[in-house]
Amino acid sequence: MSLTLLEMKRRAGKILQIYSTAGGWLTNRGVAEVDIEEIANDTYRNDIFPLFAPHNPSDFRRVGYADNWVANGTVSASSTASTLVATTAIFNASMVGLTVNNSTDSVSAVITAFTSTTTVTVDVVIGDTWDGNSIFVLGKEFSFGGDGSDIWMIETVAAKYSDTATYKTVFSKGLKHDIYQQGNESGSDGYPVFYTTNLTVNGIDVLGIGIEPRFKSKISQAFEINYIQLPAAMTDASTLRIPHLDLALIDAMVSRGYDLKQDSKRAQMWWDRYEKKRMDAFIRYAPNSFNPTMGTALPRHISAIARRTR
């Protein structure tokens, strides 16, 4: 049975002489419990996981679904001519060039100018005909909500371009500078392409995707994204998703603990032990994807996609 993180921390703490069953965690020893936990998560997520994930990605594969709009709202009665006014703040300057879909009347317009978070100019005269209707701003580049930290690698992207479609078309993967050689490419519904890109959301750089062709109407769960999930940071009750690595991780915690105590000789000895056990576990590793806990799940970051903020 796998050890919990708390059990692994305590075993490492006893070796480092910073924990005892009777006295708990000791202070002023050059390394603390919080350091040991940080070492455990850093080693697991940045050293162990990248070694094992490509070997058997099925253990870490997830499928997420997402809508194709980046903002939605209701049209205000103060809209006139080609000025579109929303009743709430849904627009931003980066939306110039995006399509606004009026789902009530099944018509669309392109945003040509940004005035404020409630007001934009569009490329057609709408007058009062959109008043009270529901509108959706359709995206082109998407991040995956939050900080997107659980996406390690995107494998495939598929989407449907109409609500009546019975299946999703798998996108080909391309490079952004290859797709937009002229700057005005529009793509084809029958041959959609996606590219990965770095986006900035609320001041944080996150992984995102761009697509061609763009969507023309609002579609619920338009996207299906298959990706490799970076394991979440462990807490005290957590166990490793990869078997046979408990003792190896303890050795890594001890090694880097000795680094903090500035004992390089012991640190190297325990790191050598860690690397040997890690490779032994890698050789013995077999897919664990039959485990129901490894199955398809709706991840928290894909449940709501956010528009790129430039």
Structure tokens at 277: 């056990």
163 and 110 part of one domain:
no
Shared domain check, 99 and 174: no
Total structural domains within the chain:
3
The pLDDT of residue 185 is 56
Same structural domain for residues 219 and 248? Answer: no
Instruction: State the chain's mean pLDDT as an integer.
Output: 84
Does any domain span residue 308?
no
End-to-end CA distance of the chain: 48
Q: What is the pLDDT of residues 145-203, one digit of tens each?
A: 544 558 888 888 888 888 888 777 888 887 766 666 555 555 566 678 888 888 776 67
Domain identity same for 151 and 221: yes
310 within a domain of the structure (yes/no): no
pLDDT digits (tens, 9 = 90+) for 56-74: 787 888 888 888 898 999 9
Helix axes 5-15, 246-260, angle to 10 degrees: 50
pTM to 2 decimal places: 0.69
Give pLDDT tens digits for 18-59. 999 999 999 999 999 999 999 999 999 999 999 998 887 878
Residue 10 in domain? yes
Determine, yes or no, domain membership for 131. Answer: yes
Let me know whether 153 and 226 are in one domain: yes
Structure confidence at residue 287 (pLDDT): 57
Residue 260: helix, strand or coil by DSSP?
helix
Q: Do residues 43 and 100 share a domain? A: no
Q: What is the pLDDT of residue 14?
A: 97
Domain span including residue 76: 69-138
Do the beta carbons of residue 18 and residue 26 sit within 8 Å? yes
Residue 157 lies in a domain: yes
| Residue 124 domain flag | yes
Instruction: Please confirm whether the linkage preceding 213 is cis (ω < 30° from 0).
Output: yes
Same-domain pairing of 264 and 274:
yes
Q: How far apart are CA 26 and CA 236, in angstroms?
A: 18
| 105 inside domain | yes
Judge whether 299 lies within some domain.
no
